[in-house]
Amino acid sequence: MKIAYLVGDGMGDYPVEVLGSRTPLQAADAPNMRRIAAAGQLRMVQTAPDSLPPGSDVCNLALMGYNAAENYTGRAAIEAAGMGLDLAPDDVAFRCNLVTVTDDVMIDHASDHITTAEAHQIIEALAAELADDAIRFAPGVSYRHLLIWQNGPSDCTTEPPHEILERRIDSHLPSGPGAEAVRDLMARSRAILEAHPVNRARIAAGKRPASQIWLWGQGKAMQLASYRELYGLSGSMITAVDLLRGLAVLAGLEVIDVEGATGWIDTNYEGKAAAALDALKRNDFVYVHVEAPDECGHRGDAALKTQAISEFDARIVGPIWRGLEAMGEPYRLILTMDHRTPVSLRGHSREPVPMAVLDGPVGAVTAERAFDETVNDGQAQCFVFDWVRELLRG
Ligand SMILES: [Zn+2]
C-alpha cells in the first residue's frame, strides 16, 4: 500500500471576525479536503503532549508517529540533523534567528524574510566577532540559522521569537542555568549588526533589518528509530524547511529537494505534488509538508492564511489525490496539520486539530463534510502518535 501524508503547517485556527466568524479552514475554498473527510475517517487529534509546547518540532514528531515526550531534545538538534551537521556528545545546538527588535519590542521573528544571500553575509560578520573555540555558526536558509556551542547551557529556558511578536523582549529573554552567557551573545550581536551594510541597504529599501540574533530551541543530538525498523517502510519527505528535513534524516526518510520550494505562499506547489507522486512510484511512503499557512498565521493575516489553505487544497491535495487514484493501487491518504496557528495569537496553540484518513481507490467523490476545528465538537479523540502508529503498520 502507498501512503501519502499531507500536512498544512498551522492550518488550524479560531473563528475570525473578518472572515465572518469562520476559521480560515472554514472560509477556504477546499473541496478536496472536504471530500476526503466525507469519504474517509475523520477524527480530532491531540498533537502536543502536555509536557511540551506545541511547536512544529514536537507536533510533527507526533504526526510522524513518535512519542515526542520520550524522544525530543530540542528543535535545533533536529535542524542540525537536517543540515547534515554531526553534533558531538557535548555539543548543544541553538536555533539562531535573525530577528527585528525595535525599542525592545519583537517586531519580526523573520527579519522580513531576509534573503539567504543577505543572511549569510550577516552570519559571517557575527562569526568573525562572536565565534571562538567553543562556539561556531552554521548558516541556514533565510532567517533560520544555528549556533553550535560545545558544553553550551542546554538547561536554560528560551522562548521562540515567533511566540512573542509585538511584545517587549525583557521578560522573554533566556533565563535559568547559564542564561547570562546566552543573553550576552544576543546583546553583543546588536552592536555588530547595527551598522552592517546589509541592514543599511535593507532600511534604505524600506525593508526591516536583521537587528540582532535570537537564540532558542537548544538541544543535544537526538536519535529516532527509523521507519524501516518501526514499520518496514521506505519513504521520503518533501519540505522547504530545515526542521522537517531534520526529522526526515532522523527517521531514515529520503529528503527530496524541489526547486522553488520556499516555505512561503509563493512555493512551487506543482513541483511538490509532482515530486510526491514520483516518489511513491519508488517508495511506500511520502510526507508532504507545506509551511505557508503557519507563516500567514504568524503574520496575523486571516485573508492570506485562507488563501494559503485554498492553494494547499487545489495545488497539493487535489493533484496528489488524483494521482493516487490514477495509480490504481491500494493507497492510504492522511490529511492533517501539526497544530493551530491562530491569526489572533500570531503564535501556536495546543487545541486538537482535525485529521482525515482515506483508504482508496474510491473513485469519484462528490459528497463533502466539514474538515475544520468543529470535528467531534473540537474534542480530541486520540493522541495522534497512537493513531499514526496503527496507520503506518497498515
Ligand atoms: Zn508548525
Do 259 and 215 share a structural domain?
Answer: no
Beta-carbon contacts of 117 under 8 Å, excluding residues fewer than 6 positions away, are: none
Q: How far is the C-alpha of 182 from the C-alpha of 178, rounded, in Å? A: 7
Mean pLDDT in residue range 101-114: 96
Tell whether 366 and 306 lie within a shared domain: yes
Q: Specify the CATH number for the domain of residue 371.
A: 3.40.720.10
- Distance, CA 57 to ligand 1 centroid (Å)? 7
Q: SS3 of 265, please?
A: coil
Cross-strand bridge partners of residue 213: 98
- Whole-number pLDDT of residue 100: 98
Instruction: Answer yes or no: do 126 and 23 share one domain.
Output: no
Regarding whether 268 and 374 lie in a shared domain, the answer is: yes
- The answer to the question of residue 83 being in a domain is no
The pTM score is: 0.87
Strand partners, 235: 285
Residue of 218, 190, 192, 19 lying closest to 103 (CA atoms):
190
Q: Are residues 248 and 385 in the same domain?
A: yes
Whether omega for the bond prior to residue 361 falls within 30 degrees of 0, making it cis, is yes
Count of structural domains, the chain: 2
Q: What is the pLDDT of residue 249?
A: 96
Kindly state whether residues 214 and 141 are assigned to the same domain: yes
Cα 56 to averaged position of ligand 1 atoms, centre (Å): 4
Q: What percent of the chain has pLDDT over 70?
A: 100
In a domain, 78, yes or no: no
Among residues 177, 193, 219, the one where a domain terminates is 219
Q: Can you tell me the distance from the alpha carbon of 385 to that of 373, in angstroms, rounded to the nearest whole number?
A: 19
Residue 80, domain member (yes or no): no
DSSP 8-state code for residue 338: S
User: Would you give the distance in Å from CA 174 to the centre of its chain?
Assistant: 22
Domain ranges, residue 354: 2-72+225-393
For residue 311, report the distance from its CA to the centre of ligand 1, in Å.
17
Same-domain pairing of 206 and 229: no
Instruction: Take residue 136 and report the three cell numbers written for it.
Output: 561556531
**Could you tell me the distance, in angstroms and rounded to a whole number, from the CA of residue 378 to the centre of ligand 1?**
19
In a domain, 82, yes or no: no
Q: What is the pLDDT of residues 119-176, one digit of tens each?
A: 999 999 999 999 999 999 999 989 999 999 999 999 999 999 998 999 999 999 999 9
Claim to verify: residue 36 and residue 102 sit in the same structural domain: no
pLDDT at 42: 98
Task: Count CB atoms within 10 A of the CB of residue 37.
Answer: 24
Residues 239 and 386 in one domain: yes
Residue 338 cell numbers, joined? 501539526
CA of 337 to the centre of ligand 1 (A): 8
Report the separation in Å between the CA atom of 9 and the middle of ligand 1, taken as the mean of its atom positions.
5
- CB-based contacts of 176: which residues, under 8 Å, 6+ apart? 155, 156, 157
Q: Are residues 240 and 291 in the same domain?
A: yes
From ligand 1's centre to the CA of 315, what distance in Å? 20
Q: What is the pLDDT of residue 245?
A: 94
* 86 located within any domain: no
d(CA 317, CA 30): 9
Considering the domain architecture, whether residues 290 and 154 belong to the same structural domain is answered as no
Judge whether 192 lies within some domain. Answer: yes
Domain stops at, among 152, 184, 219: 219
84 in any annotated domain? no
Q: Say if CB 159 and CB 98 are below 8 A apart.
A: no
Query: Closest Cα to residue 244, out of 281, 285, 291, 283?
Result: 291
Residue 249 and residue 208 share a domain: no
Residue 85 included in any domain: no
176-203 residue pLDDT tens: 999 999 999 999 999 999 999 999 999 9
Last residue of a domain, one of 193, 219, 245: 219
pLDDT at 241: 87
Query: Is the dihedral angle over the CA atoms 194, 197, 202, 205 positive or is it negative?
Result: positive
Tell how far the Cα of 191 is from the centroid of ligand 1, in angstroms. 32
pLDDT at 371 over 80: yes
